[in-house]
């Protein structure tokens, strides 16, 4: 079955590479061009429509990928699971800044930030927290300051 799947993908890629052109409108592809490799007209039309739709979603995904603000390193671990683990270890619910720190540090690299963006945001938020703590009256909870600093940069 695996060999059949590989053969099918190879054949489909060959058909697309030799007969499909994304710059040609779908109507023209389906009706005017000769149908490749002895495919039925209906099958060729469905393949062309599928490839056009895939191109559209691929373009959207590329655009959305450029908007990302940073990479997380938590794998399959959900945010609620991170919160629960933090709660068990520290006896309190983590702030959003602490969740950001936890989710953007690599377990494989000994807790190092995963990318330059993570380092930049950590430094920016730590500086905002320190500045706000200095301006607040003594006895102010650091958790309140964390939330204010997070809202300043992310909301």
User: Tell me: the pLDDT tens digits for 123-140?
Assistant: 888 888 888 888 777 766
Establish if 71 belongs to a structural domain.
Answer: no
Q: What is the pLDDT of residue 133?
A: 81
**Same domain flag for 97 and 146:** yes
Clarify whether residues 59 and 85 are in a common domain: no
| Residue matched to tokens 């000994």 | 110
Q: Is it the case that residue 87 has pLDDT exceeding 90?
A: yes
Which pLDDT does position 33 carry in this prediction? 64
- List alpha helices for the chain, DSSP H: 2-19, 26-31, 41-66, 79-90, 96-103, 116-135, 142-154
Residue 74 lies in a domain: no
Is 140 a member of any domain? yes
Task: Identify whether 118 is part of a domain.
Answer: yes
Residue 83 lies in a domain: yes
For residue 88, name the pLDDT band (cuts at 50, 70, 90): very high
What whole-number distance in Å separates Cα of residue 56 and Cα of residue 150? 35
In a domain, 57, yes or no: yes
Domain extent for 123: 79-154
- Note whether 103 and 49 are same-domain residues: no
Between CA 100 and CA 81 the distance in angstroms is 13
- Asked whether 141 and 150 are in contact (CB, 8 A), the reply is no
Q: What is the pTM of this model?
A: 0.52
- Do 79 and 103 touch, CB atoms closer than 8 A? yes
- Same domain, residue pair 90 and 127: yes
Q: Answer whether residue 88 is part of any domain.
A: yes
Query: What does the pLDDT look like over 106-125, one tens digit per residue?
Result: 877 777 888 888 888 888 88
pLDDT at residue 155, as a whole number = 63
21 falls within a domain: yes
């Amino acid at each position: 079955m695996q060999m059949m799947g590989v053969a099918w993908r190879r054949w489909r890629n060959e058909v697309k590479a030799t007969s499909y052109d994304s710059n040609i409108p779908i109507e023209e592809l389906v009706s005017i061009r000769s149908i490749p490799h002895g495919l039925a007209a209906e099958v060729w039309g469905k393949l062309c429509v599928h490839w056009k739709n895939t191109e559209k979603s691929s373009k959207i995904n590329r655009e959305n990928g450029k908007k990302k603000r940073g990479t997380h390193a938590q794998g399959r671990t959900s945010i609620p699971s991170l919160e629960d683990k933090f709660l068990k270890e520290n006896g309190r619910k983590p702030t959003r800044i602490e969740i950001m720190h936890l989710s953007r540090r690599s377990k494989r690299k000994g807790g190092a930030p995963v990318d330059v963006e993570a380092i930049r945001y950590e430094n920016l938020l730590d500086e905002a927290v320190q500045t706000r703590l200095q301006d607040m009256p003594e006895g102010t909870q650091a958790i309140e300051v964390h939330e204010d600093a997070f809202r300043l940069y992310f909301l």
